[in-house]
Amino acid sequence: MTNPAILTVDDDPAVSRAVARDVRRRYGDRYRVVRAGSGPDALDALREIKLRGEQVAVMLADYRMPQMNGIEFLEEAMDLFPRARRVLLTAYADTDAAIDAINLVDLDHYLLKPWDPPEEKLYPVVDTLLDAWIATPDPSITETRVVGHRWSAPSFAVRDFLARNLVPYRWLLADEPEGGRLLKAAGLTPDDVPVVVLPDGKPLVAPSEAELAAQVGLTTTPTSDFYDLVVIGAGPAGLGASVYGASEGLRTVLVEQRATGGQAGQSSRIENYLGFPDGVSGAQLTERARRQALKFGAELLSAREVVGLEAAGPTRLLKFADGTSIAAHSVVLATGVSYRLLEAPGIADLTGRGIYYGSASTEAPSCAGEEVYIVGGANSAGQAAVYFSRYASRVHILIRSGDLGRSMSRYLIDQIEGIDTIEVHPHTEVMAAQGDGHLERLVLCDGRSGQTRTADAAALFIFIGAQPRTDWLGDAVARDSRGFVVTGADLVRDGQRPTGWTLPRDPYHLESSLPGVFAAGDVRADSLKRVASAVGEGAAAVALVHRYLAGQ
């Protein structure tokens, strides 16, 4: 941690050197002495310190300076470091101005020049001010900071990306004092948000996911242009394939467009996964798997979108959205599924501003004491309802069917029935979302009577259906009518292998219509949509990759 700063400002080089020398002699072992020759230069130094999340303990400014006098400087400096102690250096003739400054800039002390000997005239004053500052210092901040608006969809997207990639950050509202001070230090306004301030003080204005990933330490560039195995998608299936592929000696790279964990990574608590009797959050489970894959030597590329798959003889070529590509002997498709869009008036306009797909756990504290609605009746919806019940005054689960038993595990149903603040609304659909700039109301319809009603709502979380992320595959591999990848025996019809199949054997169980390309997890047609089965399919796919590479 960098020591707190003591800032000295004086336009006279001799005086500036003298005050910095005397301060450094007494406090240099505990504080960093920063010297500036003018008010503007000092403000630039303070902005840099602010963006780096460091502290300023005391500011000593000369009164008589061109461009900006000491009082004007301290007035602006207060906006950046309101808790720093302020001292004005004056000549005897300027004492009236110094006294007036006590009220104008909340001056802590003024010192007459010269201050010799410092042991009598300087150090006792600074000692007292440092003791007072230590009692209530500005906090040091070493993590990434995000400044934005609560009802800004781009601000939510940045926060969600960082949270899902387990990058620690501090959230600051642009219209609150600390957020405003950071924006001012960066020379920005609330209209520029979201702004991400990195630990080294570098501000990023409305960064793309790729830019953000590269700046917060996520790997975005492959170390090679050819691998034994490329795994696309870092959900449970992709992580399972990466762990087994790397641990068994295959040069493996895992490519993820959004965040490690997929939909499972957003789950607040998974309680039916083998080996975790007390449950485990999706983030914890996937972070352990990520570390395990890296330990065995797998590469993990973040914020990289794969847009094409081609066969080039025995090589499988994967194209990225930025025009680059990598090649491999084999590929595991583990891109999972995304939640189906809810088609109703107002939903699209308010997405990211009170309406969210998935659990969006970053919004939980903002839901304290509010009415929250969840659409969907599968396990992910049930886990979210239990999680948000810790914050919201009431959680409403909306389902089109008559009860939760058709699609939700019994253990979750029992939990929900035991929580008084969760209410299930069967045969209910969202017809419209309303609000001025953010969600305020929902129009709900009873599917039995056809009657509609309006309900106040602070947030809506959508968990409906599942659509595979396979449009980018085009005709490279066979897919069913819903877009899921068809594999194994399902590709063989009346003894006929799929069109274009060039090998003398039938496709392996998890193999697609393109030899050497396998599918695992939710993206595969007729797969069991559970975390454990996805991990198992990822591991099984690697065993089949070995058979393929051996020419069996």
Across the range 246-273, mean pLDDT stands at 88
Are 328 and 372 members of one domain?
no
Angstrom distance (rounded) from CA 511 to CA 515: 7
> Identity (one letter) of the amino acid at 239?
L
Is the pLDDT at 299 greater than 90? The verdict is: yes
Pick from 147, 315, 295: which is nearest to 227 by CA? 315
pLDDT of the residue at 261: 84
Residue 468 in any domain: the answer is: no
pLDDT of the residue at 330: 97
Digit-coded pLDDT (tens) for 303-351: 999 999 999 999 999 999 999 999 999 999 999 998 899 999 999 999 9
Are 303 and 235 members of one domain?
yes
Is the pLDDT at 114 greater than 90? The verdict is: no
Domain boundary among 102, 135, 168: 135
Is the pLDDT at 32 greater than 90? The verdict is: yes
Are 321 and 238 members of one domain?
yes
Across the range 110-114, mean pLDDT stands at 81
**Domain of 120?**
5-135
pLDDT of the residue at 366: 87
Across the range 249-255, mean pLDDT stands at 97
Residue 471 in any domain: the answer is: no
Is the pLDDT at 265 greater than 80? The verdict is: no
Domain boundary among 417, 438, 462: 462
> Identity (one letter) of the amino acid at 276?
F
The DSSP line for 388-451 is HTTTSSEEEEE-SSS-GGGTS-HHHHHHHHT-TTEEEETTEEEEEEE-SSS--EEEEEETTT--
Angstrom distance (rounded) from CA 92 to CA 521: 79
Q: Report residue 418 as tokens.
A: 């035991």
Digit-coded pLDDT (tens) for 406-458: 889 999 999 999 999 999 999 999 999 999 999 999 999 999 999 999 999 99
Asked if 189 and 141 count as a contact pair (C-beta separation under 8 A), the reply is no
pLDDT of the residue at 461: 96
Are 507 and 439 members of one domain?
no
- State pTM to two decimals: 0.79
Residue 61 in any domain: the answer is: yes
**Number of domains the chain contains:** 4
Share of the chain above pLDDT 90, in %: 71
H or E segment and range at residue 101? helix 95-104
The confidence band for 115, taking pLDDT boundaries of 50, 70 and 90, is confident
Domain boundary among 215, 240, 273: 215
Q: CA angle, 445 as apex, 360 and 402 as ends, to 5°?
A: 80
Share of the chain above pLDDT 70, in %: 96
Is the pLDDT at 97 greater than 80? The verdict is: no
Residue 41 in any domain: the answer is: yes
Question: Distances in Å between the alpha carbon of 46 and those of 80, 184, 216?
Answer: 7, 11, 24
> Identity (one letter) of the amino acid at 455?
A
The confidence band for 500, taking pLDDT boundaries of 50, 70 and 90, is confident
pLDDT of the residue at 104: 66
Are 413 and 438 members of one domain?
yes
Is the pLDDT at 491 greater than 80? The verdict is: yes
Could you write out the three-class secondary structure of 120-171?
HHCHHHHHHHHHHHHHCCCCCCCCEEEEECCCCHHHHHHHHHHHHCCCCEEE
pLDDT of the residue at 363: 87
Residue 429 in any domain: the answer is: yes
> What is the CATH classification number for the domain harbouring 94?
3.40.50.2300
> What is the CATH classification number for the domain harbouring 436?
3.50.50.60
Mean pLDDT is lowest, of 3-7, 85-89, 106-110, 338-342, for 106-110
Are 300 and 356 members of one domain?
no
Is the pLDDT at 59 greater than 90? The verdict is: yes
Residue 220 in any domain: the answer is: no
- Tell the residue number behind the tokens 């504290």, with chain if given: 365
Q: Decide: residue 126, CB within 10 A, 0-12 exposed, 13-18 middle, 19+ buried.
A: buried
Across the range 470-478, mean pLDDT stands at 95
The confidence band for 542, taking pLDDT boundaries of 50, 70 and 90, is very high
Across the range 219-224, mean pLDDT stands at 94
Are 243 and 392 members of one domain?
no
Are 191 and 239 members of one domain?
no
Asked if 63 and 93 count as a contact pair (C-beta separation under 8 A), the reply is no
Across the range 269-295, mean pLDDT stands at 87
Are 173 and 258 members of one domain?
no
Asked if 472 and 383 count as a contact pair (C-beta separation under 8 A), the reply is no
Is the pLDDT at 215 greater than 70? The verdict is: yes
Asked if 311 and 474 count as a contact pair (C-beta separation under 8 A), the reply is no
pLDDT greater at residue 529 or residue 20: 20
Helix (H, G, I), strand (E, B) or coil at 364: helix
The number of CA neighbours under 13 Å toward the Cβ of 79 is 15
Across the range 64-68, mean pLDDT stands at 87
- Tell the residue number behind the tokens 């995304």, with chain if given: 338
pLDDT of the residue at 103: 64
Are 312 and 269 members of one domain?
yes
Please state, rounded to an integer, the average pLDDT across all residues of the chain.
91
The confidence band for 353, taking pLDDT boundaries of 50, 70 and 90, is very high
Pick from 105, 120, 6: which is nearest to 60 by CA? 6
Is the pLDDT at 92 greater than 80? The verdict is: no
pLDDT of the residue at 422: 97
> What is the CATH classification number for the domain harbouring 199?
3.40.30.10
pLDDT of the residue at 428: 97
Are 14 and 126 members of one domain?
yes
Helix (H, G, I), strand (E, B) or coil at 300: strand
Is the pLDDT at 106 greater than 90? The verdict is: no
The confidence band for 141, taking pLDDT boundaries of 50, 70 and 90, is low
pLDDT of the residue at 66: 86
Are 86 and 16 members of one domain?
yes
Is the pLDDT at 71 greater than 90? The verdict is: no
Q: Where are the alpha helices (DSSP H) in 251-352?
A: 282-295, 347-350
Helix (H, G, I), strand (E, B) or coil at 248: coil
Could you write out the three-class secondary structure of 463-491?
CCCCEECCHHHCCCCCECCCCCECCHHHH
Residue 439 in any domain: the answer is: yes
